[in-house]
Chain A
Amino acid sequence: EDQVTQSPEALRLQEGESSSLNCSYTVSGLRGLFWYRQDPGKGPEFLFTLYSAGEEKEKERLKATLTKKESFLHITAPKPEDSATYLCAVWGRRGLTGGGNKLTFGTGTQLKVEL
């Protein structure tokens, strides 16, 4: 069974204080790892896809990296608008009937960035 563990559960940063969020996973045949951002009262918003160990993706102050056991979401010089819950999900070898994506989600890291 695929599993995803995110840490920490919650993180409070001062504006400009860089940090990293962790996503540890066990999966049968990793096909992809995804990061999403979720604002309160809204649905998750897709951020990044990582396919193989060593891959990195960047978007503004966010950089996602991937190893064979975990992924990190690095936040450089965060701003209050980066406050959100960040979700990680893995896509394993086992698919769904009809070819659909079978994703396993972590419980998320709730990030708060203060002035």
Chain B
Amino acid sequence: DAGITQSPRHKVTETGTPVTLRCHQTENHRYMYWYRQDPGHGLRLIHYSYGVKDTDKGEVSDGYSVSRSKTEDFLLTLESATSSQTSVYFCAISESGQGAMEYFGPGTRLTVT
């Protein structure tokens, strides 16, 4: 299996609390991405990183922030969780930034009550 893990795998939190999800890779890939997956929607890009400390917004970035201080780690923070952020979150990595996302993580199921 590719070396990409996510933590936690499941989390339940209350509205208004901050939450941080972690993605860790051992593939040394330059590009890392955070997606969310919801019924009736395809995977949607939240934020991505094209290098250490280089990040940018995706199509559904409101209410989220990211950080990447090391090649292997990419953190997604929900600054003040809302029920609309209940979702399954996937991290993905790409070596070249060209073509397919080579690997996805196992996902984090987040429930905001």
Q: Report, as a range, how many residues of chain A touch the other chain.
A: 20 to 34
Q: Which of A49, A101, A102, A107 has the most CB of B within 10 A?
A: A101
A-B pair number, CB within 8 angstroms? 80
Q: Which of B12-20, B39-47, B71-79 sits within the interface? A: B39-47
A103 CA / B102 CA spacing, docked (Å) = 12
A101 with B94: CB separation less than 8 A: yes
Instruction: Point out the residue from A42, A49, A99, A106 that lies within 8 Å of B106, measured CB to CB.
Output: A42
B31 at the interface (CB under 8 A from A): yes
B50 with A49: CB separation less than 8 A: no
Which residues of chain A are within 8 angstroms of B94 by Cβ–Cβ distance? Answer: 100-101
Instruction: Point out the residue from B40, B43, B58 that lies within 8 Å of A105, measured CB to CB.
Output: B43
A98 at the interface (CB under 8 A from B): yes
Q: Which of A36, A43, A106, A108 has the most CB of B within 10 A?
A: A43
**Which chain A residues (12-58) contact chain B, with CB distance < 8 Å?**
32, 34, 36, 41-46, 49
Instruction: Point out the residue from B42, B54, B105 that lies within 8 Å of A98, measured CB to CB.
Output: B54
Binding site for A on B (CB under 8 A): 31, 33, 40-45, 48, 50-51, 54, 56, 58, 90, 92, 94, 97-107
Binding site for B on A (CB under 8 A): 4, 32, 34, 36, 41-46, 49, 87, 89, 91, 96-108
A-B contact pairs, 13 of them (CB 8 A): A34-B99, A42-B106, A42-B107, A44-B104, A45-B104, A46-B103, A49-B100, A89-B100, A96-B56, A96-B58, A98-B56, A100-B48, A107-B40
